[in-house]
Structure 1
């Protein structure tokens, strides 16, 4: 879309001022594919008003009802004093506008620009992020807020994107390691079954779903702001907290002067700060170490995607002995040092 086309979207949100500069941040145009997809994220600048962020979407995973629910969750957090931003409303109260484009209908979401995302996760940032997530979970729990649409990517019960248990079996089977695949998958399934037995006892609620440095910005006082509810959904709160904390501690960019800091230290900073804002209930306190252990043992980047992942190692050495790798899984499944 060019500037004139984007300008034509703004009146739906009650904005008449002309765009003075357009800064595309992300553009994916696969409308000719099946299913058709489109995503544009752009910063709109004006001569007299602060900049805005415009998102145009057509995604199978983001129907209009889900986008509306994302916006309402963001608005709830704003109302409760959480440092975040909510999409602007159109005249009929929706938090998106329907935009015709090349025979398709795109969803337009417009919100205040919070500024550039942070570039790295220092130990202090880990603590601030954990604190922010704890506050968000606390107000959700206090107000009994839930979502009907969307799959939270850190929900272990629903199959988390960072859970490498299922993908480990696939990787091993693809390389002919049938016996090892069966043994490790049984270990994973045993722990999963044990955890899910207690899942109904855990507090659940609506979560933002992706508290990464890509979705955080920081003001001049050091306060973190969160944006982008594209991964929001219903989740066991302790699952969201532990898995987000592990991802924040392992897979972000970190300051060069803190490369000596271990992932375990970063996780502790995140999770300790989280609990200061939202103390765990008895069921969560009993369950979270076991959840951490199984996620650590079957961490997705260790299985696939990482530069030194098992998949990469097997591609280079198909006959690689797996005894040490399997022993490492066993050790992590029974590592109690995280709670010491």
Structure 2
């Protein structure tokens, strides 16, 4: 769908230069069209052009993402600069095959992502987790200090109308409540989960919120030659979120889920918890949690950790295979994580 002529036209909107060569990355799926062109210009410089047609990208959001990235850059965070077009806006619009596309231009970052380098996060030491936490803490401090807020939310916000966490938990409950699994335990877990969500709802309005990058994942985390943290890219999921919720969601994902093999037994979980502690320590070095935010840490852990999508999907897959003893073992693990009240104390010890 995207041709060299389209790339040339997009480039001309931002630069007085021409395309020497380019590499087109097609990240399209279902009803979304998402293209990224890594362009080498005749001047010898490189630039990144992004061209999206979907339900959540528009010019006002591109302007908002560009502002967030500029705030981060002013605060010492390594992230791409967004370039202004010749008409003074960051986002531009073009029609391709009767579809409206929003496109924009970003600085090309020479460092590679974790995924580009085919590095497993588990092979990077706990100091790397500290650096990731510190980066997110710096981001949140900058957004809070400069009062960066949006009219739209980041996609993975808790207590949202179409949130992923509750959808996954509900799917888990509906598929196991009448199964050969330990139904008493299923019902108890479901009751505790919903009770903790109610507790979170009570304090949710008082939790500080603002603009967040939205997708702190291994395909967006840059690594230097010494395998140290080198920056963050990609803002197309940036939006509003509660800072402490974002901390916990990304921290749990990066500290507990990015492993070649799933680990649930205590020895391995204790190792991952130490990595999470490093992440949290890095974050709190840069962002001072309020007492209300600190009070939310335990219940956020309880709600998020056992009901991560991959945990739910694995449990339901094992149930489909009829391995009910293993399912019940996973239920006991879920109950343990759901009822823990020692997380904040551990993280701050």
Q: TM-score, normalised by structure 1?
A: 0.86
Which residue in the other structure is 1:33 paired with?
none
- For residues 331 and 177 of structure 2, what CA distance do their matches in structure 1 show? 15
TM-align CA RMSD: 2.7
List aligned pairs for 1:311-326, cutoff 5 A: 311-317=316-322, 323-326=328-331
User: How much does 1:24 deviate?
Assistant: 2.1
- 2:7·2:37 contact (CA, 8 Å) conserved in 1? no
Map 1:148-159 to 2 at 5 A.
148-153=151-156, 155-158=157-160
Measure how far apart 1:174 and its partner are: 8.5
Q: How does 1:66-81 map to 2 (within 5 A)?
A: 66-81=61-76
Q: Structure 1 pair 277/29, CA: closer, same or farther in 2 (3 Å)?
A: closer
Q: Is the 8 A contact 2:39 2:48 kept in 1?
A: yes
Pairing 1:61–2:31 present: no
Task: Verify the 8 A CA contact 1:195 1:287 in the aligned structure 2.
Answer: yes
Alignment check: 8 A CA contact 2:189 2:335 kept: no
Q: CA deviation at 1:107?
A: 0.8
Counterpart of 1:8 in 2: which secondary structure?
helix
Q: Which residue of 1 aligns with 2:3?
A: 2
Deviations 1:203-243 (A, max 9, x none): 11111111112112134584521111111111110000011
CA positional deviation for 1:181: 5.4
Contact 2:59 2:92 (8 Å CA) reproduced: no
CA deviation string 1:159-212 (max 9, x = no partner): 654564233224326968787655433221111001111112211111111111
- Per the alignment, residue 249 of structure 2 pairs with 243
Please identify, of 88-97 and 270-279, the stretch whose mean Cα deviation from structure 2 is larger: 88-97
Report if the CA contact (8 A) 1:152-1:207 is conserved.
Answer: no
- The aligned counterpart of 1:205 is 210
Please report how far the alpha carbon of residue 271 of structure 1 lies from its aligned counterpart in structure 2 after TM superposition.
Answer: 0.8
The residue that corresponds to 1:228 in the other structure is: 234
Indicate conservation of the 8 Å contact 1:69/1:149, yes or no.
Answer: no
**Residues 1-43 of structure 1: CA distance to partner in whole angstroms, max 9, x if unpaired?**
2223211211111x2322222112334276xxxxx53111121
Number of matched residues? 325
Distance 1:167 1:250 in 2: 22
Please report how far the alpha carbon of residue 295 of structure 1 lies from its aligned counterpart in structure 2 after TM superposition.
1.6
Gapped runs of 5+ residues in structure 1? 31-35
What is the rounded CA distance, in whole Å, between the counterparts of 2:329 and 2:240 in structure 1? 38
Instruction: Note closer, same or farther for the CA distance 1:266–1:64 as it changes in structure 2 (3 Å cut).
Output: same
CA contact (8 A) 2:48 2:107 kept: yes
Give the TM-score normalised by structure 2. 0.84
